[in-house]
Amino acid sequence: MATETLEGTWEEILEHARELAGRRVRVTVLGKPGENPPAEAGLDERQRRMLAWLDEWHRTPLSDEERQVLDDFEQFRKEHPFQLRRLDLEEDEA
């Protein structure tokens, strides 16, 4: 049987006890119904650092000028397309 995910209350999971007998299972206890799980649940350290950085970014107040630059960036990008490429690649590899 392939890996499958069951989600529900403990009582709902127990309804599958017979078909799961003898199989390895992993139980993750989620919050109470209606509660949101923590944003960092299941993330590795690199992902947690990125999430912390994004949180800091969102909490950083922007000046009016910075806000205008970000608001206008999409239009600027359309008017001035550019490509990013790795500098460590040889020209024939690019």
Note the pLDDT tens digit of each residue in 26-40.
888 877 766 665 666
Q: Is the pTM of this model over 0.85?
A: no
Q: Phi and psi at residue 43, in whole multiples of 5°?
A: -95, 145
Query: What are the distances in angstroms from CA 50 to CA 5, 28, 39, 43, 59?
Result: 27, 24, 12, 10, 14
Nearest to 38 by CA among 30, 49, 50: 30
Note the pLDDT tens digit of each residue in 38-50.
666 678 889 888 8
57: which DSSP letter? H
Is 1:23 a contact under the CB 8 Å cutoff? Answer: yes
